[in-house]
Structure 1
């Protein structure tokens, strides 16, 4: 099915099931332990051996020799895989890093060997017996030191433009009545998902099956085939449940490659889970940025020039962090400039993490907007509203398909009580606590991608949906079930959803905030085919037939849906493909984040007291699961604002705090009750469900709202994240 015109009225608009806050259909399995994750697929691969990954002890250099004799002779050891016996290995298309070091070492904890043994303990003990001799080389580990040598990144797939320009930024900025020129920094961030990267691999002749934690099954098959040099059709990937991904499990990484190599060497299934330190230094992360923002405005507050330059670093071949993305679209201004620069660093690869581009970019942009509002003596919300635009600022002939940014800001201001905000920074105390309010706008793209599904109807009236779409905790099972139930006119408990298997039709996968809208559109297309098959079987005119309450009605006749499949199962299969609506309209989601914080006037301790998000993201398929996505993003945004920081040892070249004890993320005590409001919206250009994703909108802008609240509370402006008490304490005596 081709979606090339805005959606009109269709069966989804009945909203009998879609749009309802139903419980997760997979919830019971997850809370009772019945959902089996990648490392737990024991029944699928009986007798699996265990693989233990040995990571490189240097950050840059070469392997001179690997002596594995003692490891091979250790009890229970079945195989030891190194670059010497792994065969030729390529790299996948999405990630730039190599799965196995040798002879060059690209970064610390890059895998240098996999030990396979009967038990995990035997594999771990044997790995300690491997003697690796290295020659260490000088490496680059400091973004600030490498900044001046950074270059514009090369163009390519999933790479933003290195530079954009509209009008005369330099001239307009120079002549602006009021100016801001400030630099902000964000550190490296870890995905820190609960489930580690894990894979069980098994060979049957030339056929490889991997039960693995992955977000994009189709990407994984492509990249694993390319890495191992085998046919895509010889690979099956299975990933029904995933314990968090946040972009870090976009496609295969070393766990899948090494499990496959280990299984081939040991001639039995092998399971590999990366130990927690390798989750920081071996796989991908969000890279640090240095961002310079310049904004010029008239004395009345109209932006006349806006410029955003960002520097990030990566291993050779890696992509930049696209921090300038929100500045290109969020505010009006005739004269515009953005630039990305990429430095080569010898740290683990930087890549996609929840809202890549927007999340770190808005950590800078939305502080800058507050700073300029203060210079203009304007309320921060009023300044943002004044510079709203209903067209793409870089292409004024391209309108936004929907843009309710002003409504988000104003609705949030009313609900949050913005009028009670302290007018003067450090102007309100609650005992020993200084209190303040902060706000930030939010924007995140709403892309859609081709996505397919297969829908079956059996004689019991049960509808089964099959697609290789994944559920990374986002609620894919539930919204797909709701879509099928709405289309086929059955109750939710009459729908079975099967996900995460490459034998099913290829979907868009989970990532980039395209998963919900794309996968449900694919299910919609398949259900259209099934409705036609049902109508033909019953002798009905499908164009006029209605499907509701388990009945199909046409021409005064009403027949039970299940009767159409009395003789044989009926199947509908299709995929949704898209035309040029995304080029004709700027398709984005919008929001506004509000935060109230309290800062101890004597110690600098920061406490979040309350937060609110107001979101406009198309039709909300399930308000309950969507709310979970938003509050999850808000929690991650709080972590980015106040605590998360992968600290680099700039001499040895690795992330020092490479575990969940040293890398601090928010816990229950850090997060108060969070409030979420969804504005009424249905975007007909986005797809037949008129829905968009929300999973990444929830984090975009959060950190800046908290940073702005800290400033409002203390009068101390911190431009270097995270905002920790040591960055406040020097000024607090004067404030206190």
Structure 2
């Protein structure tokens, strides 16, 4: 059956491993990141941050600092102009943190901004900030939920998506109590920081008192524009936010942070453009983190390994003001066929800034607990880890009882096992050696949901054979410029070099940010909707044009594919869009459209040749499918029993993600996701001093991330998958999927190598040695 989603689907350059269109600009330095933008009259801002985590400021002495040459002003809570509103006064605050520093003398977390120096040069501002003397009346801070002074509370609603803090399906405790196999374990996840190469940066430029342009390292220019409008009490259209290139973000640039509004307020006060770039140390205290967390999972199963109950609880640290925590339970609720499930969240307020989403928030730590426990049950019963996953394969989503829009997980298992050589695995832990080192093999499942979204795009086709396509999206560095050029090329039937795709500006049509794996699916769908608008206009020209082969045809009888219009019943009879446009005398034609990703698209297309014959109308219109990407990781490790070191020696990842827009960039995304997950598994840990609630390794010397020597060759493949319900092109987001389950795959491989289960991330040599000292 030909569906509405596939009848005009392009088939030319979409999916091909095309090189990045922004590559030349990046390697030649022509690409300008937010910190590299310069406008006439730019001056520089530098933050002075608190050395205590709780207390109040008793005095700030700026005398020496003010004597430095080139100082324009030194702002503190005593003289910084106040915004029209603080985040707490905004009805629907868009960002993770609702606390704005420098409004009073209170200090709530270490590294909180307490002063902002503005000077003619960066060097002068940096020196002056160092000379500011701040005196505090310090109080004993709370550093985490482990602190004896911390009080755990039920947040009722957790800030991420405003989800309930309690979810119950069936009767999980009763089912667990009656299960033939019972397994209970607690898993610990360290504080992680995003650590992108590009630090956060803001350049604020005022034009008079009522027009503002902000060059911002933002994953979501629309969100930043809205937040600024709320805080400043200005109409959105008077604020422009520009982000043409981003040097990584992983979630930390997807929220609004204090340094942006502080820079904007300072720029207005000094009547000069002000540029502020966070230092690497300030990146650890200025743009959020993955919270420290502990989760306990009780898993009940039958004697043949079928799950009957999952009982999950989570504890985590939050800030003094917000209830943000990752929704770890989401993946436990849907990944396997389990009739009884519950999750409960508890938080403790501490003197830290608000945590924020970090690549695969919820799914990454949640999968570590789920996939580790499932392997333990498999080992207890003598079942192969892959086999137990197949025995618990969910043929529908148990969390909402909906069918999948598409699911190729079994194919991922099969292909991954084949590529890895899983059938050669020694199932008995601790029995496989390579010389003196222990060798282990592990695997885990990956899944990430579709977060429904919509956006707009504009397409302008020129009669001379080129096109400009616009959407206010952002490119995290993962290839949005490139894949949207490919989508546009196929939609208009032009070679990619004839397409100019523009993004990263709130003057462009509104689009979602790069986060939650929504950008590719939404923006591609938006471009196709805008292209359809162009098609419709040109088809109407053609059927009214005596010189066209389509003269007097009904527009409904004309199909457009790869830039060519033709009669459905006589495909040889037709011509290109450019041919008709060229005869019209018009130099160009413009179209716009709104594209949907996820449930909204499914509802929109009900009854347009896309209805699922296996689902009734009521189910379809209400969003009748559960939408997820799936995958499987396979890992080989070598563990040195004398040093406790773990080295990843082989990695295979196979994924089902619908239509792949660009094989090269998609493979790179999934490879990067695996590396990101390996970092969380083996080395990434920000240590917060329990006495002072300050980070002791807030730089890239102390906070270890993977380098080339830590990572083997990674094999990534995609299984063919068609999803007719998700968006126009059947595209699923992949930004997060690649790291879900990675830590579990590593932990499962270490267990196979050593016979010891590691439940605390990161799995560092000291933990391995301690485990090896214990009996197996």
TM-score, length of structure 1 as denominator length: 0.95
After superposition, the Cα gap between the structure-2 partners of 1:483 and 1:543, relative to the gap in structure 1 and judged at 3 Å, is: farther
Residue 650 of structure 2 corresponds to residue 610 of structure 1: yes
Q: How does 1:166-177 map to 2 (within 5 A)?
A: 166-177=169-180
- Alignment correspondent of 2:699: 659
For residues 309-362 of structure 1, give each alpha carbon's deviation from its aligned partner in whole angstroms, at most 9, with x where no partner exists. Answer: 111111121411211111011011111111122221211221110010001111
Residue 759 of structure 2 corresponds to residue 719 of structure 1: yes
Post-superposition shift, 1:567? 2.5
- Alignment correspondent of 1:312: 316
Post-superposition shift, 1:363? 1.6
- Alignment correspondent of 2:609: none
Partner-residue secondary structure (3-state), 2:681: helix
Residue 32 of structure 2 corresponds to residue 36 of structure 1: yes
- Alignment correspondent of 2:341: 336
After superposition, the Cα gap between the structure-2 partners of 1:549 and 1:366, relative to the gap in structure 1 and judged at 3 Å, is: closer
- Alignment correspondent of 1:509: 513
Counterpart-to-counterpart distance in 1, 2:756 and 2:251: 34
Q: How does 1:228-239 map to 2 (within 5 A)?
A: 228-239=232-243
Residue 558 of structure 2 corresponds to residue 564 of structure 1: no
After superposition, the Cα gap between the structure-2 partners of 1:612 and 1:559, relative to the gap in structure 1 and judged at 3 Å, is: closer
Q: How does 1:367-406 map to 2 (within 5 A)?
A: 367-396=372-401, 398-406=402-410
Counterpart-to-counterpart distance in 2, 1:144 and 1:276: 27
- Alignment correspondent of 1:11: 8
Equivalent of 2:675 in 635, 643, 665:
635
Post-superposition shift, 1:379? 0.7
Residue 193 of structure 2 corresponds to residue 194 of structure 1: no
C-alpha contact (below 8 Å) 1:601/1:735 kept by paired residues: no
Which sections of structure 2, spanning at least 5 residues, go unmatched? 88-92, 545-549, 604-619
- Alignment correspondent of 1:573: 592
For residues 506-534 of structure 1, give each alpha carbon's deviation from its aligned partner in whole angstroms, at most 9, with x where no partner exists. Answer: 00121001111011111111111111222
For residues 398-421 of structure 1, give each alpha carbon's deviation from its aligned partner in whole angstroms, at most 9, with x where no partner exists. Answer: 111112222222221121111111
Equivalent of 1:345 in 345, 350, 356:
350
For residues 111-168 of structure 1, give each alpha carbon's deviation from its aligned partner in whole angstroms, at most 9, with x where no partner exists. Answer: 1111111110000011122222222122211222367623234256713321111111
After superposition, the Cα gap between the structure-2 partners of 1:405 and 1:549, relative to the gap in structure 1 and judged at 3 Å, is: closer
Post-superposition shift, 1:563? 5.6
C-alpha contact (below 8 Å) 1:402/1:683 kept by paired residues: yes
For residues 34-79 of structure 1, give each alpha carbon's deviation from its aligned partner in whole angstroms, at most 9, with x where no partner exists. Answer: 111001112xx12311111111111112222323343233210112
C-alpha contact (below 8 Å) 2:158/2:325 kept by paired residues: no
Equivalent of 2:226 in 222, 226, 236:
222
- Alignment correspondent of 1:128: 130
Counterpart-to-counterpart distance in 1, 2:654 and 2:682: 22
After superposition, the Cα gap between the structure-2 partners of 1:299 and 1:548, relative to the gap in structure 1 and judged at 3 Å, is: closer
C-alpha contact (below 8 Å) 1:99/1:111 kept by paired residues: no
- Alignment correspondent of 1:680: 720
- Alignment correspondent of 1:96: 97
After superposition, the Cα gap between the structure-2 partners of 1:26 and 1:328, relative to the gap in structure 1 and judged at 3 Å, is: same
Post-superposition shift, 1:258? 2.2
Q: How does 1:408-557 map to 2 (within 5 A)?
A: 408-538=412-542, 539=544, 542-545=555-558, 547=560, 552-553=565-566, 556-557=573-574
Equivalent of 1:691 in 731, 734, 747:
731
Partner-residue secondary structure (3-state), 1:597: strand
For residues 644-685 of structure 1, give each alpha carbon's deviation from its aligned partner in whole angstroms, at most 9, with x where no partner exists. Answer: 001110111122110011000000000011011101112111
C-alpha contact (below 8 Å) 2:257/2:286 kept by paired residues: no
For residues 353-377 of structure 1, give each alpha carbon's deviation from its aligned partner in whole angstroms, at most 9, with x where no partner exists. Answer: 0010001111221111111111121
Q: How does 1:74-93 map to 2 (within 5 A)?
A: 74-89=68-83, 90-91=86-87, 92-93=93-94
Counterpart-to-counterpart distance in 1, 2:317 and 2:80: 30
Q: Aligned-residue CA RMSD in angstroms?
A: 2.0
Residue 254 of structure 2 corresponds to residue 254 of structure 1: no
- Alignment correspondent of 1:290: 294
C-alpha contact (below 8 Å) 2:118/2:274 kept by paired residues: yes
C-alpha contact (below 8 Å) 1:6/1:687 kept by paired residues: no
Residue 74 of structure 2 corresponds to residue 70 of structure 1: no
Residue 596 of structure 2 corresponds to residue 594 of structure 1: no
Counterpart-to-counterpart distance in 2, 1:480 and 1:390: 33
Counterpart-to-counterpart distance in 1, 2:100 and 2:3: 44
C-alpha contact (below 8 Å) 1:453/1:574 kept by paired residues: yes
C-alpha contact (below 8 Å) 1:22/1:624 kept by paired residues: yes
- Alignment correspondent of 1:108: 110
- Alignment correspondent of 2:147: 145
Counterpart-to-counterpart distance in 2, 1:278 and 1:470: 24
Which sections of structure 1, spanning at least 5 residues, go unmatched? none
- Alignment correspondent of 2:168: 165
